[in-house]
Amino acid sequence: MDILSMQNVSLSFGSTRALDGLSFAVKEGEIFGFLGPSGAGKTTTIKLLTRQLRPGAGEIAIFGAPIARLDSTAYEQIGILSDNSGVYERMSIYENMKLFADLRGLPASRIGEVLEKVGLADAGKRVAKKLSKGMRQRLILAMAVLHRPRLLFLDEPTAALDPATTAAIHRLLREMNDGGTTIFLTTHNMEEADRLCARVAFLNEGRIAETGVPAQLKLKYAKDRVRVLLEDGEALECARNPEAIGALLADLSGRGIASVHSEEPDLEEIFLQVTGRNLV
């Protein structure tokens, strides 16, 4: 089942075309990566999917229904971390979380559990206005996942975070996904997308340039060569076809072979290959 979809969605800001005939669907239960450089249209897409903006043309559906028909019950199943997510500056981390829990009718016991998972368990008394950018990002994420949403929108969730905290966030997202939460993730971090996402879409200048499973995309855009590494450190290459590989392995009979593998590109290299653009 598709939990969300866009069909031929376009949006302009004045004379600038932000999205141009965008069409894609996200299956329920997957982590879907929406990848592209700054200005590609990632944040605009999230704002459309959460009704912060309305499209100039096209159709958007959430939970199998046109987005215009969503009621408060549907929105209670959604979590959002975006560039305009905010906190109450004069309140502490815990007070922000408690207010959100009370509004949602959630038990206070869940607050400590979530703060632990985002690395803020020992910072509950800190006032929001004194938080670093990274700590603020973690607080906003904690508020977005506190109610265990069915659908979670994350716009660059690990931006400005250190590697240890990023790893903790990734563990939390995998845990939530294992529990049934569908995650729509925008990022320009291709390593993050490769680790987390079941499928990805490359967004370039308001259009989807490519979509697919990361492992399958790597095979699709792999170089037409195979690399053989010998135990003595020597590396040899041949064409990626059964005859050439068989001939090379026969020639190497009796020599220790450490590995044989195709030269697969990473997602960043594929993005460059598909769009002609770097991610930064």
Residue 268 domain-assigned (yes or no): no
| In a shared domain, residues 109 and 234 | no
Residue 277 domain-assigned (yes or no): no
Contact in structure between 205 and 20 (CB atoms under 8 Å): yes
CA-based nearest residue to 144, from 109, 178, 184: 184
Structure confidence at residue 97 (pLDDT): 96
| In a shared domain, residues 126 and 254 | no
Give residue 181's identity as a one-letter amino acid code: T
160: left (phi over 0), alpha (psi -120 to 50) or beta: left
| In a shared domain, residues 54 and 104 | yes
Q: Which residue has the tokens 């607080």?
A: 139
| In a shared domain, residues 13 and 140 | yes
| In a shared domain, residues 108 and 88 | yes
Residue positions counted in the chain: 280
Q: Which residues pair with 27 in a beta bridge?
A: 2
Q: Which residue has the tokens 């971090």?
A: 189
Residue 90 domain-assigned (yes or no): yes
Q: What is the CATH number of the domain that holds 77?
A: 3.40.50.300
| In a shared domain, residues 230 and 181 | no
| In a shared domain, residues 125 and 157 | yes
| In a shared domain, residues 152 and 259 | no
CA-based nearest residue to 270, from 186, 193, 168: 193
Q: How confident is the prediction along the chain (280 residues), in pLDDT tens digits per residue?
A: 899 999 999 999 999 899 999 999 999 999 999 999 888 899 999 999 999 999 999 999 999 999 999 888 898 999 999 877 789 999 999 999 999 999 989 999 999 999 998 989 999 999 999 998 888 989 999 999 999 999 999 998 988 788 888 888 899 999 999 999 999 999 888 899 999 999 999 999 899 999 999 999 988 888 767 777 787 778 787 777 788 777 877 777 767 777 776 677 889 999 999 998 877 6
Tokens coding 81: 């971390």
Residue 270 domain-assigned (yes or no): no
| In a shared domain, residues 103 and 62 | yes
Structure confidence at residue 236 (pLDDT): 80
CB neighbours of 274 closer than 8 A, spacing ≥ 6? Answer: 202, 204, 209, 210, 221
What is the number of structural domains in the chain? 2
CA dihedral 23, 194, 171, 120 (to 10 degrees): -80
Structure confidence at residue 120 (pLDDT): 93
Residue 278 domain-assigned (yes or no): no
Measured between alpha carbons, how far is 183 from 141 in angstroms, rounded to an integer?
Answer: 13
Structure confidence at residue 63 (pLDDT): 95
CA-based nearest residue to 171, from 118, 215, 209: 118
pTM of the predicted protein model: 0.85
Angle at CA of residue 129, ends 139 and 44, nearest 5° = 55
| In a shared domain, residues 187 and 239 | no
Structure confidence at residue 173 (pLDDT): 94
| In a shared domain, residues 229 and 109 | no
Range of the domain at 200: 2-213
Structure confidence at residue 280 (pLDDT): 67
| In a shared domain, residues 189 and 251 | no
Structure confidence at residue 127 (pLDDT): 97
Residue 146 domain-assigned (yes or no): yes
Q: Which residues pair with 36 in a beta bridge?
A: none
